[in-house]
Amino acid sequence: MNDRTDDELDRLLAALPLDEPPAGLRASILAATVQRVPAEPIDPWEASAWGLLLALALWLVPHLSAINGVIATIARTSFTLTQPTTLIWLTVGVTAAFAASAIPDFSAGINLARKGR
């Protein structure tokens, strides 16, 4: 079998001609592992949808204080949300939010991670 000791193996390994590591190898390993910013737990559209639902729920709370006014409040809300001007402004706002989030490195200033990076 092999009768070499650990000291001999260490000397042989130390004597091997090794190439120098590529420039920036350590920095790229650190950037990919230790310094990596974790991805967002949810997608931006999910966060937007939850924010919209929460805003509507909070807006409805004071209007639902009287039991008799529940149906009237729902009717007023549905009437307000179906008005053309309201729909136009909602469309403009949602479009602007998605356009702003599609800009490359839009969130780099506040150090938010994006999925897939």
Q: For 78-95, give the DSSP string.
A: HHHHTSHHHHHHHHHHHH
Place of tokens 């039991």: 67
Ordered DSSP codes for 33-94: TTTPPPPPSS-HHHHHHHHHHHHHHHHHTGGGSSGGGHHHHHHHHHHHHTSHHHHHHHHHHH
pLDDT given for residue 1 in this prediction? 47
Task: Name the residue among 35, 18, 17 with its Cα closest to residue 26.
Answer: 35
pLDDT given for residue 66 in this prediction? 62
Residue 117 placed within a domain: no
Residue 58 placed within a domain: yes
CA 62 to CA 115: how far, in whole Å? 38
Residue 77 CB: number of other CB atoms within 10 A?
Answer: 14
Residue 105 placed within a domain: yes
Residue 46 placed within a domain: yes
- pLDDT 10s digit of each residue in the chain, 117 long? 466 678 888 888 888 888 888 888 888 888 878 766 777 777 888 888 888 998 888 877 776 666 557 777 788 888 888 888 988 988 998 888 888 777 765 555 554 554 444
Residue 17 placed within a domain: yes
Give the HSE-up count for residue 23: Cα atoms under 13 Å, Cβ half-sphere.
0
Domain containing residue 60:
6-110
Number of domains into which the chain is organized: 1
